[in-house]
Amino acid sequence: MKLEGKKVLVTGADGFIGSHLTERLVSLGAEVRALVLYNSFNSRGWIDDLDRAIQEQIDVFAGDIRDPNGVRTAMRGCDVVLHLAALIAIPYSYHSPDAYVDTNVKGTLNVMQAARDLGVERVVHTSTSEVYGTARFVPITEQHPLQGQSPYSATKIGADHLALSFFLSFGTPVTIIRPFNTYGPRQSARAVIPTIITQIASGARQIKLGALKPTRDFNYVQDTVRGFVAVAECDRALGEVINIGSNFEISIGDTAKLIAEQMGRDVEFTLDEQRLRPIDSEVERLWADNSLAREVTGWIPEYAGHDGFRRGLAETIPWFCDPKNLRHYRTGIYNI
């Protein structure tokens, strides 16, 4: 299947990855419907920051993933569904877990029910590397045990199994894409890389961070977006769970030092205890095995390894340092 000429619904299109994916789909010649979260300000999230020529080619549908009727209406007439809408901030899930069940689990159910009833050709459901918890072995394959170390990850585990159950029970054409830690322009400051960059860009000399020892497999957003397209277009991917990762791990501390070095700033990293997860909730190590993605879809990360990470940061840092973008971020507070 090729996405060119297909009518594609992107849920969560107003978010970080969703906006980049929407942009890519338009460039590929897909007919894109963007499901964005309704609000009285008529804000369409990051869709509003895309080039005007791109925006004019997007059919924007304001709704709520928790509303089954709205989801069904948005999906009507679509061939492919790329489901990204979710609550993803881990700290917020500690004190508002109900919202995560409603959005991540019930929202996914709404997507699957509508996709089944409407007979869509393909559904790609977005998972997260957080479902693996702290690695029991590395690199992490898709057969790694799932561990719900936060309410967020627990709801994503539930959503993943629910999506696969529709494939097994009803033959709904579902694939699970499991991106590891994506970074790049437009990312929320609740994530560590924007947190570091925006504090330095705002002139701070003492950079507030949480735990520095955990490792992550960071993926530049364009690699993640290419992964979505590769999975959506691959018939062999149906019924599969597929990691999208760079097969490279680096600690948060070393990431912070690398960013400071690339920004040419002499800064000090200090512990802000409110940024620490509860000890048993912290995911200490993530490192993706991406061999299945290579084998099944042919996807290969272009920003892999230490050199690729440096190149990705070199494309990310200037975006956040641009004053018109930096103004979106409140660098003096802890963003949960």
> Could you give the CA distance from residue 67 to residue 291 in angstroms, rounded to a whole number?
37
The tokens describing 68, both together, are 């089954």
Domain ranges (residues) in the chain: 7-183+219-247+289-297, 192-214+249-285+305-326
- Residue 332: the pLDDT is 84
Backbone region of residue 244 per phi and psi (left: phi > 0; alpha: psi in -120 to 50; beta: other values): beta
Q: Looking at the annotation, which residues are catalytic?
A: 152
192-214+249-285+305-326 — its CATH code? 3.90.25.10
Tens digit of pLDDT for each residue in 230-251? 999 999 999 999 999 999 999 9
Tens digit of pLDDT for each residue in 100-129? 999 999 999 999 999 999 999 999 999 999
Whole-prediction pTM: 0.98
What CATH superfamily is the domain 7-183+219-247+289-297? NAD(P)-binding Rossmann-like Domain (3.40.50.720)
**Phi, psi angles (nearest 5°) of residue 24:** -65, -40
Query: Would you say 288 and 245 are in contact if contact means Cβ atoms under 8 Å apart?
Result: yes
H/E run at residue 226: helix 221-232
DSSP letter for 269, please: E
Bridge partners (DSSP) of residue 11 are: 35, 83
Cβ-proximal residues to 171 (8 Å cutoff; 6+ apart), any chain: none
The tokens describing 259, both together, are 């960013």
Q: Is the pLDDT of residue 336 over 90?
A: no
